[in-house]
Amino acid sequence: MIKPVQLPTPWRDARLTVVVPTYNEAGNLPALVERLLALPLPGLRILVADDNSPDGTGEVADKLAIEHPDRIEVVHRAGKEGLGRAYVDGMTRAIEGGAEYVAQMDADLSHPPEALPGMLGALLSTQASVVIGSRYVPGGELDENWPLYRRALSGWANLYVHTLLRVRIRDLTAGFKIWQAEALRDIDLERVQSNGYSFQVEMHYLATKLGHTILEVPIRFEERRDGVSKMTTATKVESALMPFRLRSKHRNITR
């Protein structure tokens, strides 16, 4: 586990909301929350967007919110509507709640919370619109226990999207990021239509088309600790078709 960077004031006090979509993550959420709240970021808040998880994740989140009423908010969504919809809902609420910066990360502990202070420092020092915790820049790592087929799928997906969309990001499918709230307002979350993991690609594509600065910093990507991957056949099909839809839909996008 890496040691969090100690940021100077006022950077450490920035209003940062971490949006965490959940579906059947009852075994992982308490550990993630504990690690997030231990960070030297007093302005950090957590927004859990739960898609009515049958394993009781929503109830676990509610208990954590009672224990930390000023730092955790829970959004209970009607059902499993997809990762993209959960992120759009959570990010929109975070901005409306006054967040200056919005982070997104998975609940399965594959993304190291301890990297967030360093990512925030990189964002603030460079004035980038978004900082990506990247597996595929120098210094980035994949857990040695990550299955070979997942490595191959991830590598192929990045190559495929690069070829079709010409977006200069090494980890196009990355889900660990910090955004400036102003960049999200400019992108306009209401026009983001992707529902599954292709949400990440659409957000990167829109940010690029609108001229936003995107910075990648290396992280170590861990294998999930508990539960199973949410990747389905339908998600894979959507991800394969999305680049063609994006080129058509956002061809003439402007501010």
pLDDT at 1: 73
Query: Domain ranges in the chain?
Result: 10-248
pLDDT at 250: 62
Q: What is the pLDDT along the chain (255 residues), one digit of tens a residue?
A: 789 999 999 999 999 999 999 999 999 999 999 999 999 999 999 999 999 999 999 999 999 999 999 999 999 998 777 889 999 999 999 999 999 999 999 999 999 999 999 999 999 999 999 999 999 999 998 877 766 766 666 666 777 776 677 788 999 889 999 999 999 999 999 988 887 668 898 899 899 989 999 999 999 998 766 655 555 545 555 555 666 666 666 666 765
pLDDT at 225: 63
Cβ atoms of 37 and 67 within 8 Å: the answer is no
Give the whole-angstrom CA distance, residue 66 versus residue 35. Answer: 17
* Length of the chain in terms of residues written: 255
Give the whole-angstrom CA distance, residue 94 versus residue 231. Answer: 26
What CATH architecture applies to the domain 10-248?
Alpha-Beta Complex (3.90)
Summarize pLDDT for 61-71 with one digit per residue, the tens: 999 999 999 99
Amino acid at 7: L
Residue 148 burial (10 A CB sphere; 0-12, 13-18, 19+): exposed
Summarize pLDDT for 185-199 with one digit per residue, the tens: 999 999 888 876 688
